[in-house]
Amino acid sequence: MLDVKGLHSFYGTIEALHGVEIEVNDREIVALIGSNGAGKTTLLNSISGHVTKTGSIHFQGKDITKLAPHKISRSSLLQVPEGHHVFPGLTVEQNLLVGTTAEKGIRLRAGDNRELLDMVYEIFPRLLERRKQLAWSLSGGEQQMLAIGRALMGKPKLLMLDEPSMGLAPLIIDELFEKIVEINKNGTPVLLVEQNAHLALSVSERAYIMERGNITLSGKSADLLHDSRVTEAYLGKQKKEQEN
């Protein structure tokens, strides 16, 4: 499905990723874990075509290494960036309809997209309740659901989520992650960037641990959940954050 080999990514002359290799298979949730600055966002942005790189990225057997970002998203490899990016002055439903434009040209009429809207509303009933509300008036959790819902409107063949739990209260995070599992069970593979190692490992099949631009550990999430190297790295990060 997604196969990244020997990936080196650059900001100007600075190399941020040093030969990263990951793969995501059909139907999997794969987690990418690491502390601040490890290179997780850079990896997602490299896959979606926003960062200069060398190496190779294949998606569904096609070489997408050199494709422009809009062409990559047209092949239904869709990314939900960090932070709850919504169009604040549009309603919930208008935000969702914008999600269909990447693939098919502009079509902002609900009627043309009824099935897709119904599918998103079934996963996120809260968005249905709030469909006429302006997006700025939603809570952080609802905005994150809307950002994910908008990506679902593009019928992703792979969904890349960057820190969906960022800034959300624990109960909302639990609800959001149940939805992510549901989306995956409906057939969409997910590459999930998440600093909360425990949460990420609990919902994923496999995981990669990133440190300073390298993958340092990978394996089945169930095994990594009990691996002292993971626990220690995660607790180390928490400790550092508490000190700051």
Ligand X SMILES: Nc1ncnc2c1ncn2[C@@H]1O[C@H](COP(=O)(O)OP(=O)(O)OP(=O)(O)O)[C@@H](O)[C@H]1O
Interaction site with ligand X (CB under 6 A): 11, 16, 34, 36-42, 195
Choice between 69 and 103, CB closer to ligand X: 69
Give the whole-angstrom CA distance, residue 163 versus residue 60. 24
Report, in Å, the least distance between residue 184 CB and ligand X. 22
Choice between 41 and 144, CB closer to ligand X: 41
Report, in Å, the least distance between residue 100 CB and ligand X. 28
113 neighbors 97 (Cβ within 8 angstroms) = yes
Choice between 4 and 117, CB closer to ligand X: 4
Report, in Å, the least distance between residue 200 CB and ligand X. 12
Burial 29-52 (b: 16+ CB within 10 A, else e): bbbbbbbeebbbbbbbbbbbbbbe
The C-alpha angle with vertex 172 and arms to 196 and 83, in degrees rounded to 5, equals: 65
208 neighbors 21 (Cβ within 8 angstroms) = no
Choice between 35 and 143, CB closer to ligand X: 35
Choice between 9 and 188, CB closer to ligand X: 9
Q: Please classify residue 90 by burial: count the beta carbons closer than 10 Å to its beta carbon, then call 0-12 exposed, 13-18 middle and 19+ buried.
A: middle
63 neighbors 47 (Cβ within 8 angstroms) = no
Choice between 81 and 140, CB closer to ligand X: 81
Q: Is the dihedral of CA 43, 197, 78, 157 positive or negative?
A: positive
Report, in Å, the least distance between residue 163 CB and ligand X. 7
Report, in Å, the least distance between residue 56 CB and ligand X. 20
Report, in Å, the least distance between residue 41 CB and ligand X. 3
Nearest to 204 by CA among 27, 68, 30: 30
